[in-house]
Amino acid sequence: MTLWDEIHEQPETLQRIIDRNRDVVADIAARINEVSPSSVLIAARGTSDNAARYALYVWGARNALNVALAAPSLFSVYHQPPQLDGALVVGISQSGESPDLVAVLEEANDQGRPTLAITNHPDSPMAQAADFEIELHTGQEQAIAATKTYTAQLAAIALLSSALNDNIGSLSGLAADVGIVLAESDRIAGAAAMFADTEAAAVLGRGFNHSTAFEWALKLQELTYVLAHPYSTADFVHGPLALVSRGFPILAVAPTGKPHATVHELLDRLKTELGSRLAVISNDDATLGLADAPIRIPAGPEWLSPIGAVVAAQLFSYHLASAKGLDPDAPRTIEKITRTT
String of DSSP letters for 30-45: HHHHHH--SEEEEE--
Least Cα distance to 91 among 139, 63, 49, 36 occurs for 49
How much is the pLDDT for 143? 80
Is pLDDT of 251 > 70? yes
Give the whole-angstrom CA distance, residue 173 versus residue 191.
Answer: 26
Q: Where are the alpha helices (DSSP H) in the chain?
A: 3-8, 10-35, 47-63, 72-76, 99-110, 125-129, 148-164, 174-182, 185-193, 210-224, 233-236, 260-272, 285-288, 305-323
How much is the pLDDT for 340? 65
Is pLDDT of 152 > 60? yes
Give the range among 24-38, 231-245, 294-308, 325-339 with minimum mean pLDDT. 325-339
DSSP annotation string for 56-81: HHHHHHHH--EEEE--HHHHHTS--P
pLDDT (tens digit, 9 = 90+) per residue, 160-203?
Answer: 999 998 776 678 899 999 999 999 999 999 999 999 999 999 99
At 336, the pLDDT band (50, 70, 90 cuts) reads: very low
Return the C-alpha torsion angle 261, 264, 269, 270, nearest 10: 150
Task: State mean pLDDT over 304-324.
Answer: 98
Rounded to the nearest integer, the mean pLDDT of the chain is 94
pLDDT (tens digit, 9 = 90+) per residue, 61-116?
Answer: 999 999 999 999 999 999 999 999 999 999 999 999 999 999 999 999 999 999 99
Looking at the chain, the whole-number percentage of residues with pLDDT higher than 70 is 96
Q: What 3-state class would DSSP assign to 295? A: strand
Give the range among 9-23, 147-161, 272-286, 323-337 with minimum mean pLDDT. 323-337
Give the whole-angstrom CA distance, residue 286 versus residue 261.
Answer: 11
How much is the pLDDT for 170? 72
At 140, the pLDDT band (50, 70, 90 cuts) reads: confident
Is pLDDT of 145 > 90? no
CA 212 to chain centre: 5
How much is the pLDDT for 329? 81
Structural domains present in the chain: 3-172 (3.40.50.10490), 180-323 (3.40.50.10490)
CA 142, 143, 144, 146 torsion: positive or negative?
negative
How much is the pLDDT for 166? 79
Give the number of other Cβ atoms within 10 Å of residue 327's Cβ. 11
Give the whole-angstrom CA distance, residue 30 versus residue 265.
Answer: 42
